[in-house]
Structures are given as structure tokens and as C-alpha cells.
Chain A
């Protein structure tokens, strides 16, 4: 189980990068949509949701890779 936890650490880091790339593609056009709803929505996705997912998952994956979640077993 510990080995799976460690290997999956890489998966979470990669997932963070894919999610970041997808969110930029998703929210980017909203910033230039011309509507205020779209702009605010785009800003929230790009500057709140995306950093949370990317940074959070990268750090989580890094900790998993370091074996930080092994100790509790």
C-alpha cells in the first residue's frame, strides 16, 4: 500500500498540471467574454480555484511521494 501511495504522488502532481492547463483554457475566454458575469467567473476560476487545485495537489502529491502519509499506518 505504501508503494502505491508513493507512486500515486506523481499522478497527483501530473493531475495538478493537467487541471491547471484545462482551467486556463476554460476560464481564459471568459475574461474576454465582454460580460461582467463571465469576467468575474473567469477571475474566480483563474485566481482562486486554479491556484488552489494546482498548488494544493502539487504539495499533496509531493508529500505522498516523500512518504509523509505512511506514518499513520
Chain B
């Protein structure tokens, strides 16, 4: 008896390892492109070339937002027709291949327009693959899970997006540490892309030996496979109403909370608070490291007290807590609250001549009693020794970098960690919730689309929309401009919370337990 139980346990762990590792690698592949965007733009998308810059914008927006839902439809359909295992093997290889190719493409300088075009195509393939991967892995694990434990087992898949981001930041940090800035810029940035192919190969070997999901095999043997999963999923009112409910009552809110906690927090620290990129990465990596186990905890808890309770609590707490959290974050690094050591301040003014363009550069190094350091730079562009005037204003660029003290860094880490906790509450149980909402024969297709619209579109657009709100409020002279970007996740989250609370029932979340 115990041997059978042990065998089952070991088999589910193999399923988790095979599925999670592949999904993690896909997230890793997807994130390194974003994390290395600055380097990639200099190699493939020079900003002084309008066509290349346009391709760059397309690569940024299109792959993350538009292509992912198409990947969900294409591979979801395939997964419901030929099986989960083969489909998510294809997505894994597609993602790995595309990532490796990006790491090998010669620069714009060497092969001209072919370089950005190839990179754009590869980025679109990455988006397609990601759109197909998640639904397959979540469905595959859920269909292997023992009854009443789906939340716990699928939560391992839920950790992969965060761990993928964590590893991508770590690999980039390690590569940067091991190489000089010149070496990294010349060829070192390619290493994180090449590393991917090794991981994909190992994951492929593990996945190759896995068996098809029992629920799909049973459905197939009974001849109940859907002939047209797309039509049955979205052309049939009985199923479409649940697709819409999953989107507006769960994934839309979950998407904005996920993106706020992990990506907006990062861009807020860097752009609004001007914290140095190294400190931002260390804050985020620490918060993610301590936050990740909570995906498992909340996944497990959703098996005990219900998916809806856990997800809706997370959503409500997040929308109520965002403004106080971001206010605290902003004030923690706000130099207006700190006492400056005036004796230590250093100011420097110099002329720089780069390729015949003259600049007047002013630098200030300021130190504060609590250990905070601030570097302010103002570059004034000159013409014949006089400040250049564009549209009646002096052409100048101002920038500042804050390095917070150790205690402030821990405070900020705690505040980001709390946001990661919200992410784990709404994201931990979502795979189990989506899987149980749809029948086996159209599950892959039906669950993938609301997931990728909620996360890719509602969540993916968050950094751009929120940054726009902040910039707009700042130029209008609003005092608390730094909190304006939160209206997007708060409003979307609140609508989703109301819909979820009223229309999702506990019974509904366990409609299909097979």
C-alpha cells in the first residue's frame, strides 16, 4: 500500500520537475530579452535609425502583448487535439531555438537591416511559444495531480515565472561581474542567450520520457477529443461565459497585481525614485527569493479553503495597500527627508567634446547623514560655446542616481516583498482555478486565452500606462504625482474583485476535477 503511494508521489514529482523546469526556462528566455533591452538596442536597433527603432518598439510591444494570446490559441488548439506532452515539447524547443538564434545574430553594423528583422522574428516566436507553454504545463500537472491537491501541485508551475525572472537577473549579474564592461558590451551579453540552449536540451531530455496526461489519454481512448477546440471554446455560449468570467473575474486582476509587484515596483524604484540599477536588482532579487515559497503555501491553502477565498483576499489587500506602500517607498529614499553633510559635497563643471558636439557637464556628489549618496548630473548642449536653445528652452539633460543606505535598502526590500506576497496570493492558485473551470477536451485552449489576455495585455501594458500617468501628473505639477501610476492596477483590480466576488462561486471553481 505504502509502495503504491510512494510510487505515485515519485511520479508526481517527476511530472513537476519536467514541467516546471521547461516552463522556468521559457520564462528565463523571455525575460533576458527585456533585461538586456538596453544592450540589444545598441547592437540591433540603433536609435538614430528610424526603421530600426520602429522594429525595436514592435519587438518590445508585439511579442509581450499581441503574440502571446495568439500562441495560446494556436498551441492550445494543438494541445487539445494531439495532446499536452507533444505540444509543450514544441513550445520548449521553439523558445530555446529562438533565444539561441538571438544570441548568435551579427549586429546591425555587420549585416544591416537583416539583424533587427531576424531579432524581431525571433522575439515574436518567443511570444508565441510562451503563449503555448504555460497552459500546457499547468494542464499537464493538474491532470496528474491527486484529487484535492491540485492547488498545491500546480503552484510549483506558478513559481516558475518568478524564478525565471530571478535566474535571468542572476545570470546577467554574474556575466557582468565576470567580464569587464567592454567585454560584456562586445560579446558577453550573448552568454545569457547561449546558456538557454543547454538548459533547454536538458529539459527536453527530461520531458521526452514523460507520459501523456492520464485525463487526456482517457478522453482520447473514449473518442471524446474535441474536433474543433476553438469553436467549442469560444463559439459556444456555455463555455464562452466561463472564459469571460475567468478573464474579468480573475486573470485581469491577477495580471495587474503580478505586474505591479514585480515589474512596476522595479521601474518605480529605478525611474521615479532614481535608485541605482545595481541596488534595484539586489532589492528585487532578495524580495523574490524570500517571496517565492509563498506560491506553494497559497496554492496549498487554496486546496483547503478554496481558490476564490485566497485569490480575492490577495486582490483586496493589494488594492487597499498599494498607495500606503508606494508612499512609504517614495519617502524612504526622498532626500528632502534627510540631513545633508554639506562639508562632503563635491561639485564639478567640465566641457566635453564628443564627435564635434560640445557639452557642458555639471556633476554634484552629495552625501547624507544616514549614508544616502546622491549623484546629480546636468548636461547642457552647446553651440559655439553658448547653450543651445530648442523651442525657446535650453537644451539640457538632467539625471540623478540615489544610492540608499543599508537600512533603507532593507526597508525597500520589505516593501517589495509585501507586494510579492500579494502576487503569490493571486497567482499561486490561478492555474488550478482555470483548469477546474473547463472540461478536459477543450481545457488547454480555454484556459490559455484568458490567462494570456489577463497577464500579457492587462498586465503587460501596466508599466507603460502607469508610467504615463506619473509623467502626466508630474508635468501638471501634482504634488503626489508618484502615486498616480497606481490608479491603473487599483481600478482594474477593484473591478475584477467585484466581478470575482459576485459571479464566481466555490462550486464553479471545482466544476471539472478530472
Which residue of chain B is the closest to A45 with respect to CB atoms?
A: B461
B503 beta carbon closer than 8 Å to chain A: yes
A56-B244 contact in complex given A15-B495, A40-B57, A41-B61, C-beta closer than 8 Å = yes
A63-B53 contact in complex given A15-B495, A40-B58, A44-B461, C-beta closer than 8 Å = no
A36-B244 contact in complex given A44-B61, A44-B66, A73-B505, C-beta closer than 8 Å = no
A36-B457 contact in complex given A68-B237, A72-B508, C-beta closer than 8 Å = no
Q: Which of A4, A52, A68 contacts B502 (CB 8 A)?
A: A4
Distance from B202 Cβ to chain A, minimum over Cβ atoms (Å): 36
CA distance A59 to B61 in the complex (A): 27
Instruction: Determine whether the beta carbon of A48 is less than 8 Å from that of B50.
Output: no
Mark A16-35 against chain B: 1 for CB-CB distance below 8 A, else 0.
Answer: 00000000000000000000
CA distance A52 to B237 in the complex (A): 17
Instruction: Determine whether the beta carbon of B54 is less than 8 Å from that of A36.
Output: yes
Number of B residues, CB within 8 Å of A? 28
Mark A27-66 against chain B: 1 for CB-CB distance below 8 A, else 0.
Answer: 0000000001100110011001100100011011001100
B507 beta carbon closer than 8 Å to chain A: yes
Q: Which of A4, A36, A63, A73 contacts B50 (CB 8 A)?
A: A36
Distance from A11 Cβ to chain B, minimum over Cβ atoms (Å): 9
A41-B464 contact in complex given A52-B457, A56-B247, A60-B248, C-beta closer than 8 Å = yes
Residues of A within 8 A of B287 (CB): none
Instruction: Determine whether the beta carbon of B453 is less than 8 Å from that of A52.
Output: yes
Q: Which of B53, B66, B237, B244 contacts A48 (CB 8 A)?
A: B66
A14 beta carbon closer than 8 Å to chain B: no
Distance from B388 Cβ to chain A, minimum over Cβ atoms (Å): 21
Mark B34-72 against chain A: 1 for CB-CB distance below 8 A, else 0.
Answer: 000000000000000010011001100100011000000
Instruction: Determine whether the beta carbon of B61 is less than 8 Å from that of A69.
Output: no
A10 beta carbon closer than 8 Å to chain B: no
CA distance A68 to B58 in the complex (A): 39
CA distance A41 to B502 in the complex (A): 33
Chain B CB within 10 Å — which of A52, A59, A60, A63 has the most? A60
Residues of B within 8 A of A12 (CB): 248, 499
CA distance A69 to B499 in the complex (A): 11
B245 beta carbon closer than 8 Å to chain A: yes
Distance from B431 Cβ to chain A, minimum over Cβ atoms (Å): 21
A68-B241 contact in complex given A8-B502, A57-B248, A73-B505, C-beta closer than 8 Å = yes
Which residue of chain B is the closest to A1 with respect to CB atoms?
A: B502
Instruction: Determine whether the beta carbon of A69 is less than 8 Å from that of B65.
Output: no
Mark B3-17 against chain A: 1 for CB-CB distance below 8 A, else 0.
Answer: 000000000000000
A64-B503 contact in complex given A44-B61, A52-B453, A56-B244, C-beta closer than 8 Å = yes
Distance from A30 Cβ to chain B, minimum over Cβ atoms (Å): 9
Instruction: Determine whether the beta carbon of B58 is less than 8 Å from that of A63.
Output: no
B residues whose Cβ falls under 8 Å from a Cβ of A: 50, 53-54, 57-58, 61, 65-66, 237, 240-241, 244-245, 247-248, 453, 457-458, 461, 464, 495, 499, 502-503, 505, 507-508, 511
In the complex, 8 of the A-B residue pairs with CB atoms within 8 angstroms, ordered by the A residue number, are: A8-B502, A48-B66, A52-B453, A52-B457, A57-B248, A59-B240, A60-B244, A64-B503
Q: Which 7 A-B pairs have the closest CB atoms?
A: A60-B244, A40-B57, A72-B508, A63-B241, A68-B241, A36-B54, A69-B503
